[in-house]
Amino acid sequence: MLGEQSRADRLLALTGLTPEALRAGLGDPATLGAVLDFLCAHEPDLLAAADALGVEPQALAAARGSLAS
């Protein structure tokens, strides 16, 4: 997902995360939620991430929903 520089820059700008905070927060539900919100807000990013992970886009959206509960 972050292999494309423009997507990575947009993720950091829209979430307010820094690269260091993103790395440090990989196990934090708030950080994961911010990344999943970013993906779910822009279908091309969601599709690219799902493809890279080998999962259905709906699985990523469902993961976001499970973090909220």
CB neighbour class for 52 (10 Å; exposed up to 12, middle 13-18, buried from 19):
exposed
Q: What is the pTM of this model?
A: 0.83
Six-digit token pair at 46?
């969601």
Per DSSP, 26 falls in state T
Give the integer Cα–Cα distance in Å for 1 and 65. 20
The string of pLDDT tens digits covering residues 27-65 is: 899 999 999 999 999 999 999 999 999 999 999 999 988
